[in-house]
Chain A
Amino acid sequence: MNPLELVRAEPGPAFTVTLDGREIEALPGQTVAAALWTAGVTSWRTTRGEGRPRGIFCGIGVCFDCLVTVNDRPNQRACLMPLQPGDAIRTQEGTGHDD
């Protein structure tokens, strides 16, 4: 059993986005975080101070642990942001700005 089977999902056609240039598949309606989890990725940024890996923590937009760069915009919350075909996700180091 998986979650899609549990609810008998018939998703619209999958589309491609990229994570650091690598192609991954996403389903319509999925957030950045959901697509990354499906691809087996649970961490996509490192912290500003100690460079530690982080991903989803609260899942609802409160904690800001899931920050990620999408289409060159850093600091987007992956748990809230729905994906569009062709979106370019980049793992984010520190503030995500080239500083």
Chain B
Amino acid sequence: MTEPGLAVIGAGPAGLAATLAAAARGIRVTLIDSATEAGGQFYRQPAPGLGARRPQALHHQWRAWERLRDGLRAHVQAGTVRQVTDHHVWFVERRDTVGFAVHALTGPEQEQPAEIRATAVLLATGGYEKVLPFPGWTLPGVVTAGGAQAMLKGGLVLPGRTAVVAGTGPLLLPVATGLAAAGATVAALVDSADPKSFVRRSRALAGRPVKVAEGAQYAGQLLRHRVRTLLHHTVVAAHGAERLEAVTIAALDRDGRLRQDTRRRLVCDTLAVSHGMLPHTDLADALGCRVDGTDVYVDDEQRTDVPGVWAAGETTGIGGAALSLTEGHIAGRSIAARLAGRAPDPGEWAAAARTRAGLRAFFTAVDSVYVPPAHWAEQVTDGTVVCRCEEVSAGAVREAVRELGAGDLRTVKLLTRAGMGWCQGRVCGPGVAGVAGCAESAGRRPFARPVPLGVLARAGETEDQ
């Protein structure tokens, strides 16, 4: 048998913090990520070949990144951490005798299998964006806000010259300022959040002065780049033949319906849009971990309810990079103690636990402010494609509900094929549920990545069986 230790899946803020905390306490860590570099979404770096001499120009909190990066380097050099890049984990298998087998795909086409053994696993796979459908959202030039950010941070490219940033959520701020700083004209930042709900939540929000200062910093940058911010507004439609040419926006009334007289058209070649984020829960699901709503359940030590499996960062609920770092730190300490056969002393991480509690409360308040317009589904015309992969229209989904009696997402899927394509419903899930008027359920997917059948067939055959 090999000498397995901890396998950390995901090298974002959560995975990095956990790796450093565990390795510093004598645990052997294998840090696995599908990307070529560590950093995750928040600390995404330009590809080394691009020779960025001031990558921090695209970043906030560069110091924190430098500390994580240097710490990782030192551990890799010392042999306490093995960093495994370009590995797409599709399944984590529980083995009674030797803990876990982490199954990944690697190679340029991601078709070569790889297996990593571990006695404990930390799921730190982060999240991805939620975008609700509207007419024109499939046009080239319409991208997710985070996607625009990822392409900018990683590839140093812009999708076009004139952008509208729209939807709702705190992510819109770094994206609008990032695009503007990199030379795009940002015609408007359109957020459906109601300024009145900021006031109602002001106590909870003011409880995190650092976060409020961060917001003020963004506000200053928006001013400097002359980005018009339209609160309580929404995108109604994107227009164009072969690619995006303009968007129509409108103000919302008190009930979250369009104020028809306020419609106006903005010329743009890019629409960066986001309605929030969703945690990656596939690996946890397949392991049998409890998932509450959309979030992987964890206890105070960041343990899931499956022995040997921890989770940290946005996998356990959306809350930004600082919360991910804190959760990773606690998870790493807990794992180090548990793998050494003792119960950890939570007193060791009391400060981190306070930060975690504060940030979770802050993001609960944030979540209640940044909500999509209450009646967004009414704007989705019957001809609008809601499932991008299988090209299922809103009309077809409505017909399945109205004529065929589909009452839940699964039945809608079986009747319309919505959610059966390449992305396995990750992108269309919330949109289809909203249009169908049924509950948004966490998708149950057997694997976190598409797996070639040959790899699947061989995955069970291992050397020690």
Contacts and interface: CB of A to CB of B under 8 A. Distances in A.
Nearest to B278: A62
Interface in B114-153: 128-129, 138-144, 146-152
B234 interface: no
Interface residues of B, number: 54
A31 interface: yes
Interface string A39-54: 0001100011110111
A34 B158 contact: no
Nearest to B53: A8
Nearest to B37: A29
A57 B51 contact: no
Contact of A60 (B54, B150, B421): B150
B150 A29 contact: no
A69 B55 CA distance: 31
Given A9-B52, A76-B109, A57 B142 contact: yes
B161 to A, nearest CB: 10
Interface residues of A, number: 48
A47 B53 CA distance: 40
B85 to A, nearest CB: 12
Interface stretch (B164-172, B320-328, B422-430): B422-430
Interface string B24-50: 000000000010100001000011111
A82 B182 contact: no
A28 B50 contact: yes
A64 B423 CA distance: 6
Interface string B46-86: 11111111110110000000000000000000000000000
Contacts, number: 160
Contact of B140 (A53, A62, A76): A53
B200 to A, nearest CB: 33
In order of increasing CB-CB distance, the 9 nearest A-B pairs are A29-B47, A59-B147, A28-B49, A34-B155, A29-B49, A64-B422, A43-B140, A1-B183, A7-B52
Interface of B: 34, 36, 41, 46-55, 57-58, 108-109, 128-129, 138-144, 146-152, 154-160, 181-183, 242-243, 388-391, 421-423, 426-427
Interface of A: 1-12, 27-31, 33-34, 37-38, 42-43, 47-50, 52-65, 67, 73, 76, 79-82
25 contacts: A1-B183, A3-B156, A3-B158, A7-B55, A7-B58, A8-B53, A9-B51, A11-B50, A12-B51, A29-B48, A29-B49, A30-B155, A34-B154, A37-B158, A43-B140, A54-B138, A54-B388, A57-B142, A59-B149, A60-B150, A61-B34, A63-B144, A63-B423, A65-B388, A76-B109
